[in-house]
Amino acid sequence: MPAPEVWIAGNCRGGSVAKALADLDAGRVVERIWERDHTVWSDSPDEIANRLDWLGVAEETTEEIPRLERLAADVREAGIDDVLLLGMGGSSLAPEVLAKTFGSAPGHPRLRVLDSTHPDAVVACRRNLDPARTLFVVATKSGGTVETLSLLRYFWGEVVSAVGDSRAGGQFVAITDPGSSLADTAARHGFRATFLNNPEIGGRYSALSFFGMVPAALVGADAARLLRSGIETAAACRPGRPAGENPGASLGAALGSLALEGRDKVTFVVSEGIESFGDWGEQLIAESTGKDGRGILPVVGVRPRAPDSYGGDRVFVDVRLAGDESGLAELGRLEEAGHPVLTIPVADVYGLGGLFFLWEFATAVGGHVLGVNPFDQPDVESAKIQARAMVAAYEKDGRLPALPPTFEEDGTRVVTDAGGSTLAEALPALLDGARPADYVAVQAYVERNPEADAALAELRRALCLRTRLATTVGYGPRFLHSTGQLHKGDRGNGLFIQIVDTVNEDVPIPSELGSGRSAVTFGVLRDAQALGDRSALLEAGRRVLRLEVGVDAPAAIRRVAAALGQRGL
């Protein structure tokens, strides 16, 4: 399978992009990346020297294909109907892309991903599964991700109730680093299998490792073919040619240099068959580049509009399957209007393997051009610290800290410092304070379902029309392991609308595996994460409006979108 190419539009081949490519060649940057030279990014090797084995992981994982195929065969023979992957961020996004792209082959189980602590999402997932005929894949690099372990404890109890304690372990598979607490748990409780990943790979660079390929094999996708695509793209990104002929280096040079010019909103336009790839790319780019007062904002899940709909801060990336001609005219008009367009043709869906490596390499190069370490996440911990403090307050006082509302309207409690006493006033008060090249981030701590998707899309359209700013939507707490790093680490040009609903049915989180005791519920954890992230954003000087919308989140979100229209577009 040919490696993906990168076609850079003529309107951005010169200038800063050409200089960045020349600098890569002069500094031997491609060679030094393959030599695992940490000084490409920093004088210190911390969180770099032990994060570079993604460069060869496709070959490493290929050697494990027989083991993956044996597991898939064993699972089919066991009569498993569903695979539920429990994970967050880098542990869940590549499997979600593969599930949405490939579905399940005949005779193989369906793959679902649960990366939410919203109790309504947990309950809905449980109602759609038979625990006795479900394999639970528990994926966490550190082995200590609070959301993943909370979900493990809950579903372990459900499986024990269905098949008994002695057989429960056979319904679970672990993917983690050697020596993690999850590895110990899997050994003690007799998990069906444990896959110990190479520890020198960061989570968001792990798509071609066990974290992506175990789920791929379970649903009958050709993991070996995906890995071959990754290996061929890695070969195309090796030294031996000018950076301008190296697809990963040229893409990274373009992204980094254009971001330094102010074009730091990378808008993905992806063919329908692989559209979910944008969600994986969103985490990789945002968490890797959004730090030290810099960053590239990925914008996913949109279709191209008229050129005058955008400011001068956009770059468009066209990831296009062979034979797909949709949107070409719109992209052509954007290029004619001076917007940079980067096109990546992909032969077929198995080109995802190559896309995973291409973007990992490009992001590493882009981090060099931007002057940031693309392998750490210094601001992710700030929200976690705040959330832990909220949980500690709950355990001490029996309740979470309350936020006095600025006002209440139609059942929606609004907390804002921007001003206004109605939604029609408060939303423009936030948005009218926008500066050129700002962006709007909607953070939805609501159950993810089609109704919420549609309502949030409506709100997103209203915000785009009202502001002409790049607008993103993320479900919480999922986005905390993705764009959450950029939100606190970039240059402070985000406007944040936090939406929190009221849960319909809360669910206790067992304190330990197999324990009947519970100190907190999923609802408390979700609320603590929302409060913690808001506090972290405010501490970082960000502008935040919080909406507490009650039990019918989609209806409330549509009312918010309508309120924007009351002030005109």
Residues 109 and 104: their CA atoms lie apart, in Å, by: 6
Please tell me whether residue 470 adopts helix, strand or coil conformation: strand
Q: Is 371 helix (H, G, I), strand (E, B) or coil?
A: coil
pLDDT at 1: 65
Question: Pick from 169, 194, 228: which residue ends a domain?
Answer: 228
- Within-domain flag for 279: no
| Residue burial 497-513, b: 16+ Cβ < 10 Å; e: rest | bbbbbebeeebbbbeee
Percentage, residues of the chain above pLDDT 90: 88
Is residue 306 domain-resident? no
Considering only 88-97, 303-312, 358-367, which range has the smallest mean pLDDT?
303-312
- 288 in a structural domain: no
- pLDDT recorded at residue 567: 47
Q: Which residues contact 417 (CB under 8 A, 6 or more apart)?
A: 406
Helix (H, G, I), strand (E, B) or coil at 394: helix
Q: Could you tell me which residues are beta bridge partners of residue 270?
A: 319
Per the structure, the complete domain to which residue 152 belongs is given by 56-228
With b for 16 or more beta-carbon neighbours within 10 A and e for fewer, the 26-53 pattern comes to eeebbebbbebbbebbbeeeebbeebbb
User: Diameter of the chain by CA atoms?
Assistant: 66
> What pLDDT does 566 receive?
59
Q: What's the CA gap between 371 and 41, in Å, rounded?
A: 7
Q: CA-to-CA distance for 167 and 9, rounded, in angstroms?
A: 58
Count: domains in the chain? 2
Strand order in the sheet with 341-346: 7-8, 341-346, 314-321, 265-270, 297-299
Amino acid of residue 64:
E
Q: Would residue 355 count as lying in a domain? A: no
Residue 26 lies in a domain: no
The DSSP code for 43 is S
Residue 298 near residue 439 (C-beta atoms within 8 A)? no
Nearest C-alpha neighbor of 146 from the set 529, 432, 460: 529
Q: What is the mean pLDDT of residues 311-330?
A: 94
Would you place residue 393 in the very low, low, confident or very high pLDDT band (cuts 50, 70, 90)? Answer: confident
Residue bearing tokens 């030290």: 292
pLDDT value at 569 more than 50: no
Question: What average pLDDT does the chain have?
Answer: 95
Q: Is residue 477 part of a domain?
A: yes
pLDDT for res 12: 84
* One-letter identity of residue 393: A
Burial of 345 (0-12, 13-18, 19+ CB in 10 A): middle
CA distances from 254 to 299, 342, 353, 528, 550 (A): 17, 9, 22, 39, 44
- Burial readout 523-548 (b: 16 or more C-beta within 10 A, e: otherwise): bbbbbbbbbbbbbbbeeeebbbbbbb
Secondary structure letter of residue 472 according to DSSP: E
Question: Residues 177-192: pLDDT tens digits?
Answer: 999 999 999 999 999 9
Q: Which of 183, 202, 228 is the last residue before a domain boundary?
A: 228
518 within some domain:
yes
| Mean local confidence (pLDDT), 434-442 | 95
Residue at a domain's end among 194, 228, 262: 228
Using CB atoms within 10 A of its CB, is residue 299 exposed (0-12), middle (13-18) or buried (19+)? buried
- pLDDT of 568 > 50? The answer is no
At what angle are helices 223-236 and 352-370 packed, to 10 degrees? 40
pLDDT of 390 over the 90 cut: no
**pTM of the complete model:** 0.96
**How many residues are given for the chain?**
569
Q: What CATH number did the domain enclosing 187 receive? A: 3.40.50.10490
Q: What is the pLDDT of residues 126-149, one digit of tens each?
A: 999 999 999 999 999 999 999 999
pLDDT at 34 over 90: yes
Confidence at residue 340, expressed as pLDDT on a 0 to 100 scale: 95
Rounded average pLDDT over 295-314:
94
Half-sphere exposure for 44 (CA within 13 Å, toward CB): 6
Q: Is the predicted pLDDT of residue 209 greater than 80, yes or no?
A: yes
Enumerate the β-bridge partners of residue 342: 8, 317
Specify whether the CB–CB gap between 6 and 343 falls below 8 A: yes
Nearest CA to 148 out of 191, 85, 205 is that of 85
The CA-based angle 441-442-444, given to 5 degrees, is 145
Task: Pick the range with the lowest mean pLDDT from 1-10, 55-64, 393-402.
Answer: 1-10
**pLDDT above 60 for 252:** yes
